[in-house]
Amino acid sequence: MKILLAVDDSEYSAAALKEIAKRPWPKGTTVRVLTVVEPFFPIAVEPWYGGLESFERIDQEVQKSARDLTKKTAESLKKQGIRAESVVRQGDARSEIIGESEKWAADLIVMGSHGYTGIERLLLGSVALSVVSHAPCSVEIVRRKQTKKRR
């Protein structure tokens, strides 16, 4: 079985990781941990800011953080006895998750949900909703358990 785990270094992704780690998967299952780095397009480059070199350094740091995140997540799964690998892609998260699942022929996509509703969903969008709507395979959205608010 091929499982694509999409992560973004949030508590919601941590919940998805925990869900995968606690289940018994068929022998030969591989989890591909994916994170997507969205491109950074500077609107204007001011000379005092350091020009394009600064943006290149920022991009390098973001790429390094993404590699560290996926590697750390894959190592966590390996400690649980699950075969895992890590990849980083650059682009729109929705498109890249769907594209990776197609190219890799994933059987299942697992990801956390930030739980945006109403105006937040309208303004920020929902990666999970887009993936569920367009994925070529089954998708599991893991929600973090909410604590009850006391009055």
Q: What is the pLDDT of residues 76-130, one digit of tens each?
A: 999 999 999 999 999 999 999 999 999 999 999 999 987 555 555 444 457 888 8
List, in order, residues 6 or more apart from 41 with CB less than 8 Å away.
none
pLDDT, averaged across the chain = 85
Per the model's pLDDT, the better-predicted residue between 52 and 16 turns out to be 16
Assess contact for 108 and 135: CB atoms under 8 A: no
The mean pLDDT value for 70-81 works out to 96
Q: What is this structure's pTM?
A: 0.83
Assess contact for 137 and 108: CB atoms under 8 A: yes
d(CA 21, CA 35): 18
Domain ranges of the chain: 2-142
Q: What percent of the chain has pLDDT over 90?
A: 62
The mean pLDDT value for 3-29 works out to 94
Topology, domain 2-142: Rossmann fold (3.40.50)
